Amino acid sequence: MINPDALKKLTNYIKLFWYFASNWNPVLASFLIYHDIKGEKKYHLNTNTPVELKDLTTGHHDTSKSSRYEAVNYFVLEDLMKKIRLLSPCKIFTDLGCGKGRAMVVAAHYGFTTIYGVDFAKELCRIAEMNMSAAAHSFEDLNYKVYCQNVLDYEINSEECVFFLFNPFEEEIIRKILRKVDHSQKIHPRAVYFLYVSPRFIETFFEFDYDPVYRIKKLRYLEGVILKKMPGKKT
């Protein structure tokens, strides 16, 4: 008899495969599913099922400039994590639009010791909390917090230096986020990095004088970039 949980996972992966294959191509779909299965097993997660915004509790927040929940692919995520650990000694990681916490958990495995997640959907925040709570048992010095709020209401603290985005917002929201980070950097000078996956609005970062210091592109559609801004650069 097939285990119901195993059957549910299989069904989800079949749906994901057809979604990727129909929107892109079967080769990319196979690549994504392979790394998704491998990553979920490696990090003991179950974060792959997409969720539409209409099925989430977001309060009175405007969802028109946000996207549905989809988990970042492990291949690009792990590649960017490996590179940022070489580029920066910063141990503070902030996921803006954290969803179910996949990037947060992976960040813990790559040596980040203070991890923040921000999302406005209550259901996703609850799952992210559970995933981080489970992951915390494997680390002695891991501090984390999930903020269930609009990302524009999130207060940037003086030490945050590595931010993560998986194309969760439209350009207008990203510009407002960058203004907040820019203000924080001027008050508390420090190098700031953004790990940006599926960087549709990368030109917006150039407006704020961020420089791309690393890029990865795979199978035409999988893309990630690390952008850096040193203190003192004018915007």
pLDDT in tens, 96-147: 999 999 999 999 999 999 999 999 899 999 999 999 999 999 998 999 999 9
> Two tokens at 108?
């813990």
Reference 167, options 87, 83, 76, 231; nearest CA is: 76
φ/ψ of residue 146, rounded to 5: -105, 120
Q: What does the pLDDT look like over 50-95, one tens digit per residue?
A: 777 676 666 655 555 566 778 899 999 999 999 999 999 999 999 9
How many angstroms separate the Cα of 1 from the Cα of each of 5, 9, 98, 204? 12, 15, 36, 53
Poorest-pLDDT segment among 40-54, 89-103, 205-219: 40-54
Q: How far, in Å, CA of 126 to CA of 129, rounded?
A: 5
pTM of the complete model: 0.91
Question: What is the per-residue pLDDT for 64?
Answer: 57
How many angstroms separate the Cα of 159 from the Cα of each of 145, 162, 174, 181? 15, 9, 20, 11
What's at 60, amino acid-wise? H
Q: How far, in Å, CA of 210 to CA of 227, rounded?
A: 6
Task: Kindly report the average pLDDT of the chain as a whole number.
Answer: 91
Question: What is the per-residue pLDDT for 54?
Answer: 72
